[in-house]
Amino acid sequence: MRNLKATPFVLALVFLFTLIMTACSGNSNNNSSPSASSNTQEPAPSTAAVETPKDPVTLKYVTYFVGQYQAEYDLFHKKYPWITIEPIVTDDVLGTVVSMVAAGDSPDLAIVDNMTTFVQQDLLEELTPYMEGSEILKTAKIRNEISSIYKLGDKNYAMPISDVPLWMVVNKDLLEKHGLEMPSNDWTYDDFLEIAKQATDLKAGEYGVAYDTTFNSWFTEIYAMANGAIPNFGYMNEDLTQTVFNTPEVAASLQWVSDLTYKWHVRPTTQEAESYGWDSGNNFLAGKSLFGIGADWYVPGFNDNAKFEWDVLPFPVGKKMQATMHLNAPFGIMKTSKNKEAAFLWLTFQYELEAQKWMIENSGTAFVDYPELGAYYAAVDVWKGKNVAAIERTGEICCYTKSPAILDVDWINANMLANLNQYFYAKADLTPFFAAADQYNSQIVVAARKALGLE
């Protein structure tokens, strides 16, 4: 694999595992996939009855970041005391995996950011037999089948260990200053635009919408999803076999978000942002924007560093639905692992009550419906005084990212999605993006399918 690239999915993973530290420091500034060729797999042992083996097991775990997740490793060890997680932190996951396997020191688990490449190199254990034999997965009321979203054909090669739905963050001081009420949780994009207009005061350097790049990427895709322009994130079709980036519906979505800056002027131009000393990272804490985008890793920074009162809202309701983007971190078990049963226990632990509570306690969102979690959001300190119903609703609404399952996702990111900032910040011509979409559909995806034996 290439070194880690600044693609949208990799950025999402880096946000999940690395930029949490940036947020804490308070920087102001539906679902089938292509079929894969069959691989012979060892039958998976049942996980119905777990007994402590005689010998301890250490799981070598290749990831981007540890941080507060060490506490979850410890929680897992408390429940399964014979198993210890040994994180191996790197910015080149696949390169690290390949090197360790070649040296005879195979890792057991790794984050999977490009399933095509991992499967082509025959690195991943197929998880379907394990999942079908898991009593934990059989009994858990898992939302929207999140455990099974990373498939090639009918084979599962990775499981998400987190669900991080995005939400909108609101500067309540600016609401009050402009005599505006907090929107309801079923507000619309028309409401969003009208409120943003009323909160924009150019003389005071105040805007309805933040300058952050997250509006170029995540907000634009969520807007397109909510309005029926895209069936899957990454601007992909229903079964992830073609990009729909080169459609009139997507072009209209891009134009609407661009108009926030150049037509309605509720979002600063590049020149204006630079004059205020804002970069394109998280500048919501500067206190000059009414609406920003938030996720669990931002909460500590908001709580510790915001000089104003803030709250949360779900993304608005579109013409088709109310949508958000559920970021997630898919992990796979290495085919060369000697501890596959223990590794699978770590994956399924994420769906147990203890782990789900830990996620909520750490400003995350549950993705399994346990009765005990009904009032848990309101009980934890991190959400005291906030719009808890918005967090709960955000966890329930559509839709999940599945970028690692997109064929040759690195190409589509590098040639299309990673360059979209040029359109929003510099009004770049979209013609090259549409040409790249045509090339992906007619050439790149065809070559990827042939490489996987699908043609």
Q: Per-residue pLDDT averaged across 140-159, rounded?
A: 88
What pLDDT score does 51 carry?
56
Which has the higher per-residue pLDDT, 451 or 75? 75
pTM: 0.84
Residue 32 in this model has a pLDDT that exceeds 70: no
- pLDDT confidence of residue 9: 42
Mean pLDDT of 335-344: 98
Quick: pLDDT tens for 348-371.
999 999 999 999 998 888 999 999
At 68 the pLDDT is 84
Q: HEC string of 147-209?
A: HHCCEECCEECCEECCCEECEEEEEHHHHHHCCCCCCCCCCEHHHHHHHHHHHCEHHHCEEEE
CB burial class (10 A; 0-12, 13-18, 19+) of residue 371?
exposed
For the chain, list the domains and their CATH numbers.
Answer: 31-163+328-384 (3.40.190.10), 165-324+411-451 (3.40.190.10)
121 Cβ contact list (under 8 Å, min separation 6): 94, 98
Instruction: Supply the pLDDT for residue 54.
Output: 62
Q: What is the pLDDT of residues 101-117, one digit of tens each?
A: 999 999 999 999 888 89
User: ω into residue 399 within 30 of 0, thus cis?
Assistant: yes
The reported pLDDT for the residue numbered 6 is 39
